[in-house]
Amino acid sequence: RPDSMLCPATGCRPDSMLCPATGCRPDSMLCLAAGCRPDSMLCPAPGCQAMEHQRARLATEIEAAALLVYNSARMKEQGIPFVKEAAMAKWYSSEVACHVSSRCVEIMGGVGFIKDNPVEKFYRDSKIGQIYEGPSNIQLNTIAKCMDAERKLSK
């Protein structure tokens, strides 16, 4: 690609799926909290170490949740029993979504609560997702029952 196709502020391609500052999709809450604007792809250069550590922790949680989802999907495709893994993925993903969106609201300060801000919508959506997609306690019950069944089979 010619250099003229790159964003002058970040050096990223406009159609790039990852933000170079955060390593996340430009429309994700982590990227929004880091100050990226999806409409212009302006991402801040790395700077404050404390903020970088927070973003790194949140990105790691998001990646771990994604890997749980991918693993349960792989197990389903291969015909391996996957109920426990799917419940783990669902529970952990909803917990991560709430934690990350809550942290992003905190990172953004008062602006994070403004109704026009996408981070506020991510936060509301993650909370309602916990309720509608099966409360966390039900997922934990499913995981515990599967673990008990596995333990009984191994005896």
- The single residue of 63, 106, 120, 133 carrying the catalytic annotation is 133
Coil/strand/helix, residue 109: helix
Q: Give every CB contact of residue 125 below 8 A, 6+ residues apart in sequence.
A: 97, 101
133 has catalytic annotation:
yes
Total H helices, total E strands in the chain: 5, 0
Amino acid identity of residue 129, one-letter, is G
- Tell me the C-alpha distance between 49 and 43, whole Å: 16
The position carrying tokens 């673990």 is: 147
Whether the Cβ atoms of residue 64 and residue 91 lie closer than 8 Å to each other: no
Distance, in Å, from the CA atom of 62 to the CA atom of 142, rounded to the nearest integer, reads 22
**Hey, which residues are catalytic here?**
133
